[in-house]
């Protein structure tokens, strides 16, 4: 058991930040996380106190980096507050415990191709069906390469089925070279990813941020575009947050979805 206290970590916020689709809340204070063919139970014992139900060796080898624990999010939030930007300050205060996960690259590529024009509940269900035959393991490219387009259609992928057929084939043939991709800078990685059918600018940025941990990536989805249009008159310069723009994006995304839900509940 590993006990951890942090003012910059909130498991509910991490699990609902739209970056990972294999986290499940099993009770009001407990979550199950599946990653890297492992499962982890996390239990909250106070507002900022968590118990990781694993050995010290496993925590150090897997979960410490997965939850981006080496990074000082407190300092990043101080930098954001120093901008005196009212929207961003509100976003940081609301999503104080969001962190950008260090996820498996292949899993991130597949899940964000699936995420296009999709809602989080449906994405989770598709991924659950995809992984069920393999226990805790996310199916590797050589496994998915054997799937036909109809196999993917039967999982509920719709038009995305052909994208997974093609990307699985590209990965097994090394056209999609993971090692090469990991060595690229953020801009080159995004350009490279966009060569593949089904990966546009938004998905490529998500893969760069969540799968390659390129923290300067700044995905623009419908939520972020709405923020930029409504609060910044269409002009938001993410480059002023050099080296941590992706973390800013996550605060914005989580906050906007949250206040949207609050407003929706308030309607008569």
Rounded CA separation 212/176 (Å): 14
Domain ranges for the chain, please list them. 2-94, 105-211
Residue 107 has pLDDT above 70, yes or no: yes
What per-residue confidence (pLDDT) applies to 260? 62
pTM for the model: 0.92
Average pLDDT along the chain: 92
Question: Which CATH number, 3.30.310.260, 3.20.20.100, 3.30.1110.20, 3.40.50.2000, labels domain 2-94?
Answer: 3.30.310.260
Q: Could you report the per-residue pLDDT of 227-265, keeping only the tens digit for each?
A: 999 999 999 999 999 899 999 999 999 999 888 644 433
d(CA 118, CA 168): 20
User: pLDDT (tens digit, 9 = 90+) per residue, 31-83?
Assistant: 999 999 999 999 999 888 999 999 999 999 999 999 999 999 999 999 999 99
The neighbour count for residue 217, using CB atoms within 10 Å, is 24
Report, as an integer, the average pLDDT of 127-151: 92
Q: Can you tell me the mean pLDDT for 2-18?
A: 92
Whether the predicted pLDDT of 217 surpasses 60: yes
Q: What are the start-end ranges of the E strands in the chain? A: 2-5, 23-27, 30-35, 38-44, 49-52
Superfamily of domain 105-211 in the CATH hierarchy? Hypothetical protein; domain 2 (1.10.340.30)
pLDDT of the residue at 264: 39
């Amino acid at each position: 058991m590993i006990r951890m206290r942090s003012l910059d970590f909130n498991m509910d916020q991490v699990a609902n930040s739209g970056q990972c689709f294999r986290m499940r809340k099993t009770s009001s204070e407990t979550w199950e996380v599946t990653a890297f063919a492992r499962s982890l139970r996390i239990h909250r014992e106070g507002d900022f106190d968590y118990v990781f139900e694993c050995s010290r060796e496993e925590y150090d080898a897997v979960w410490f980096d997965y939850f981006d624990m080496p990074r000082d999010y407190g300092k990043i939030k101080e930098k954001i507050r120093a901008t005196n930007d009212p929207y961003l300050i509100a976003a940081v205060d609301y999503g104080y415990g969001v962190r950008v996960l260090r996820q498996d690259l292949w899993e991130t590529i597949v899940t964000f191709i699936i995420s296009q024009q999709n809602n989080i509940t449906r994405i989770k269900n598709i991924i659950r069906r995809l992984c069920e035959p393999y226990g805790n393991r996310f199916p590797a490219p050589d496994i998915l390469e054997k799937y036909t387009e109809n196999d993917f259609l039967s999982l509920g992928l719709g038009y995305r089925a052909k994208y997974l057929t093609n990307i699985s084939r590209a990965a097994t043939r090394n056209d999609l070279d993971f090692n090469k991709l990991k060595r690229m800078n953020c801009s080159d990685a995004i350009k490279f990813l966009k060569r593949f059918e089904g990966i546009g600018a938004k998905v490529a940025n998500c893969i760069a941020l969540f799968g390659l941990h390129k923290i300067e990536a700044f995905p623009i989805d419908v939520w972020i575009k709405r923020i930029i249009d409504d609060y910044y008159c269409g002009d938001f310069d993410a480059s002023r947050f050099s080296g941590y723009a992706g973390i800013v994006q996550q605060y914005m995304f989580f906050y906007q979805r949250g206040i949207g839900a609050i407003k929706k509940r308030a309607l008569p």
